[in-house]
Structure 1
Amino acid sequence: MGTFIGHALPGAFFIIVSIWWIIQFVYTKIVLDNGRQRPRSRLMYCLHRVPIEGSLIVFGGVVGFIGEMMYPAPKWTLIDSEGHWKHQVEWQHVTMYTYFALYGGIMVMGRSCVPSVAGKYEKAFGALAFAVEGFLFHFHTHGRSDLDVQLHTMLVVAIFICFLSTSAEVWRPKDTLVELIRILFTLVQGTWFWHVGIVLYIPPGGEPWDPEDHLNVMFTTVMFTWHILVDMLVLFFFYGITKLALKMCGFSSVRYSQMSNGPEEHEVKLLGNNTEAGNHLLGGSESD
């Protein structure tokens, strides 16, 4: 990851995933009524069962793993001939990619082969992936310049918030605010990865930033807050566009039927029938 491409690749991954999450969020809220509706169309029902999100995360993790270890040359050696650690930075990065690929794999299993077993552990593995990422980046900048440390510290802040929000979803899976916080700071991660790559490797104007200038360090913190604001506007934009598109298409031109609520619904109906029967008997006794 010691190149611009090394920062742009994970940045693009987090940006794509966060945009997918906000589109999925709007679709679930508007079309599926928070999961209380289900598609009647067989095509849409099949698409609901396709593990698109998990497959996307697995693909990103595998591509990042291979790219990190193969570009620009293979780096599969862990210890050199003299017994010293080799390519330690790259091995840190592939560890991060491995945990996210594992998270995606759990999501795929939760949507397909073992939904009753793997489905309830999706958020736990997502929190674990963010925790490992934050842990690795926290110790990633030892011995580096003040500017480099500050850039990666802001990244760790975004990762930590992603970890907290994803952990909260384990116990509050239907909390809208927690879900939106996770989506927002995943997008912040993505755009900040690009920011770090640009500042360190292709600075605007072609002049490198002074890594020890305190003003550069201070302004880095200001720009991180700007990223949060701009990314909020980006999510609002995609929210509005998705909502408008769904309404223009008549909710994707698919008829939806209300999902059965299971035993609770049956109990309510049974209670209603018993009440009607009781009223009938009372009415009959009064007429006699």
Structure 2
Amino acid sequence: MGNFKGHALPGTFFLIGGLWWAGKYSLCYGTRRNRSLGRLAGKAVQRRLEIVEGSVMLSFSVIGMLAEQFVPDGPQLRLYDYGEHHWDHLMNWQHATMYLFFSLAGATSLAVHLTDVAPLALDRMLLGIAFFTEGFLFLYHLHGRDMLDVHVHQLLLYAIFGGALTAFLEIFHRGNVLVELLRAALSVLQGTWFWQIGFVLYPPAGMAEWDLKDHNNMMFVTMCYCWHFSFALFAVAMVYGTVFWVVRSRLKKTPTMEMGLLKTTEREQESEDEL
């Protein structure tokens, strides 16, 4: 992560993840409110979405770990340099550890939704642990840095620990769309702020460098963080509105007879679930 691309990569992962969560939870909530869309709201469809999500999370995390280890200036799986007698590329190792916990969350989600062995809430617990570990690592990641460098990473911690808190809340309040969408917005915030950190600390060629000791820059990035949060909320709201409009449009196009059949099928399925 000690360059622009190293911040853009996790930023892209979190941005995609946040938008995916916004769409998925909006779809689940919209179909729950319109029970006539029985096939669309079925548990099998939601289960497939969870499996896709777990697979993508696991894939992204593995890509992140490999990138941190095997970039040209990476540690290449070497933790200690015995020739120089010091730890080797600890920053890369910390970032790889962050990806490791998200890979565990992805693997747990697959285990929960592909088998009947693990309890349902286990996927949210591991996701909350992954967010918390990310924040815990970044909290002790800032020693000896310039003022603005420390500040932009401290601002990132609010989104990270917020994501951890909402994930833990979902252990006990699964299906609460407000908590789910808030986690989606915080993930989008993480994604865009990782990109912002890259532009501040490692501006691409041709862009002016930031004065990392200027207090005015510190004030500006604090305000800029609020703009990023407002963008994240707006993006989630747009996804929610679009998905809800699509669900409503499909409901209006569903013939009356088909709606009745879907309701009957859904009632029979619910009766079987109760048994």
Mapped partners of 1:47, 1:164: distance in 2: 23
Whichever residue aligns with residue 85 of structure 2, its letter is G
Paired position in structure 1 for 2:12:
12
Is the deviation greater in 172-181 or in 21-30? 172-181
Mapped partners of 1:199, 1:265: distance in 2: 56
Q: Could you list the runs of 5+ residues in structure 1 that have no partner in the other structure?
A: 267-288
Structure 2 CA distance for partners of 1:94 and 1:40, relative to 1, 3 Å: closer
Runs of 4+ in 1 over 6 A off after TM superposition: 34-37, 251-255, 263-266
Shift of 1:218: 1.2
Paired position in structure 2 for 1:172:
173
Whichever residue aligns with residue 107 of structure 1, its letter is S
Whichever residue aligns with residue 258 of structure 1, its letter is E
Deviation track 1:34-77 (CA, whole Å, cap 9, x = no partner) reads 999752899x9467436101011101100101111111345221
Mapped partners of 2:46, 2:129: distance in 1: 28
Q: Does structure 2 retain, via aligned residues, the 8 Å contact 1:28–1:34?
A: no
Q: What's the C-alpha RMSD, in Å, of the aligned pairs?
A: 2.9
Where 1:226 maps in the other structure, the secondary structure is helix
Q: How does 1:44-123 map to 2 (within 5 A)?
A: 45=44, 48-49=47-48, 51-75=51-75, 76-80=77-81, 81-113=83-115, 115-123=116-124
Paired position in structure 1 for 2:28:
28
Paired position in structure 2 for 1:258:
266
Q: Could you list the runs of 5+ residues in structure 2 that have no partner in the other structure?
A: none
Paired position in structure 2 for 1:241:
242
Structure 2 CA distance for partners of 1:229 and 1:47, relative to 1, 3 Å: closer
Count of residues in Structure 1 that have an aligned counterpart in Structure 2:
264
Q: How does 1:137-152 map to 2 (within 5 A)?
A: 137-152=138-153
Q: Does structure 1 retain, via aligned residues, the 8 Å contact 2:25–2:177?
A: no
- Which protein shows a greater Rg? 1
Is the deviation greater in 254-263 or in 146-155? 254-263
Mapped partners of 1:40, 1:162: distance in 2: 28
Shift of 1:258: 2.3
Q: Does structure 2 retain, via aligned residues, the 8 Å contact 1:12–1:190?
A: yes
Whichever residue aligns with residue 9 of structure 1, its letter is L
Paired position in structure 2 for 1:133:
134
Structure 2 CA distance for partners of 1:5 and 1:36, relative to 1, 3 Å: farther
Deviation track 1:9-39 (CA, whole Å, cap 9, x = no partner) reads 1111111111111111121112244999752
Whichever residue aligns with residue 69 of structure 2, its letter is M
Structure 2 CA distance for partners of 1:198 and 1:41, relative to 1, 3 Å: closer
Determine what percentage of the aligned residue pairs are the same residue. Answer: 34
